[in-house]
């Protein structure tokens, strides 16, 4: 892994950043993020408009690689807070292998590393992985980063815990996610999904139960919103 200074310099060649301190249970964590996520989206739209003028074709949906990763989602904060609280009771993270799937800038996975986990950050977007590596650099010996498309890729390892922050918004992705979970969770392992209360989240428990998973729920209050984040806990 590159040094923190080199990672930050590489990131700041492309993005303006801001570094904040977040309270996660008893922890106080420094986190660097994109200063203006909307500006990242605007730049992608501008580039796509330019491309369309040159080629006469416009890409849609996943082809555009919309920068969802550039936002620090409430669900990531919720997963991090849940891990911090649960780890005090049951050592849910310490010495465990944890995959942060669709990690974005790495807030939840960084928290898992602080709590003593060995973490793999996985995301489709290389820039997201740079931020995740930057934010987890003090725990570099415990973390790895892997570019991954959960729809098509498969890792040659499995995990004690898989975490996902707001990954259920697109129902068309559920089949791929369920297959990925099944192929990458250890026997007896736990999947934790943070969900902010979307309509798709309401439908997910019945859907996943029909595929042989047991599911229960927790709620995690976060300072960034009035309503708590739902934590779906899955076991096969």
Q: Is the predicted pLDDT of residue 154 greater than 90, yes or no? A: yes
Identify how many contiguous H helices and E strands the chain contains and give both numbers: 7, 9
**pLDDT at residue 146, as a whole number:** 97
Q: Over 60: is that where the pLDDT of 49 sits?
A: no
Q: What's the pTM value of the predicted model, to 2 decimals? A: 0.91
Which residues, in sequence order, are CB contacts of 171 under 8 Å at separation 6+?
200, 203
For residues 38 and 43, give the distance between their C-alpha atoms in angstroms, rounded to a whole number.
Answer: 9
Mean pLDDT value across residues 121-144:
97
Cβ–Cβ < 8 Å for 94, 87: yes
Q: Are 127 and 10 in contact (CB under 8 A)?
A: no
User: What would the mean pLDDT of 50-71 be, rounded to a whole number?
Assistant: 66
Mean pLDDT along residues 67-77: 93
Retrieve residue 229's tokens.
Answer: 């984040």
Note the pLDDT of residue 98. 98
Question: Considering Cα of 154, then 94, then 25, then 232, what sign does the dihedral take?
Answer: positive
Helix (H) or strand (E) holding 37: helix 37-55
Tell me what percent of the residues of the chain surpass a pLDDT of 90: 81
- Give the confidence band of 67 by pLDDT, cuts at 50, 70, 90: confident
Which pLDDT value is given to residue 214? 98
Q: What is the pLDDT of residue 216?
A: 97
The pLDDT confidence band at residue 45, using thresholds 50, 70 and 90, is: low
pLDDT tens for 209-228 read 999 999 999 999 999 999 99
Give the residues across from 99 on adjacent strands: 120, 162
Tens-digit pLDDT profile for residues 94-119: 999 999 999 999 999 999 999 999 99
**157-200 per-position pLDDT tens digit:** 999 999 999 999 999 999 999 999 999 999 999 999 999 999 99
Nearest to 46 by CA among 18, 19, 72, 67: 67
Give the mean pLDDT of the chain: 92
pLDDT for residue 175: 98
Please say if the pLDDT value at position 48 is more than 90: no
């Amino acid at each position: 892994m590159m040094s923190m200074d080199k990672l930050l310099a590489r990131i700041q060649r492309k993005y303006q950043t801001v570094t904040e301190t977040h309270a996660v249970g008893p922890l106080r964590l420094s986190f660097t993020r994109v200063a203006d996520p909307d500006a990242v989206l605007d730049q992608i739209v501008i580039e796509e408009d330019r491309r369309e003028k040159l080629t006469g074709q416009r890409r849609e949906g996943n082809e555009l690689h919309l920068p969802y990763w550039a936002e620090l989602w409430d669900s990531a904060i919720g997963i991090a807070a849940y891990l911090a609280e649960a780890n005090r009771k049951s050592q849910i993270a310490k010495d465990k292998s944890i995959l942060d799937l669709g990690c974005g800038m790495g807030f939840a996975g960084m928290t898992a590393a602080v709590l003593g986990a060995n973490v793999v950050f996985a995301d489709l977007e290389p820039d997201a992985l740079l931020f995740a590596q930057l934010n987890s650099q003090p725990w570099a010996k415990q973390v790895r980063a892997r570019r991954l498309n959960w729809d098509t890729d498969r890792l040659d390892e499995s995990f004690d815990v898989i975490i996902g922050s707001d990954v259920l918004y697109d129902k068309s992705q559920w089949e791929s996610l369920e297959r990925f979970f099944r192929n990458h969770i250890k026997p007896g392992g736990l999947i934790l999904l943070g969900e902010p209360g979307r309509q798709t989240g309401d439908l997910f428990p019945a859907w996943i139960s029909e595929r042989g998973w047991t599911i229960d729920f927790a709620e995690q209050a976060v300072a960034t919103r009035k309503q708590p984040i739902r934590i779906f806990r899955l076991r096969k």
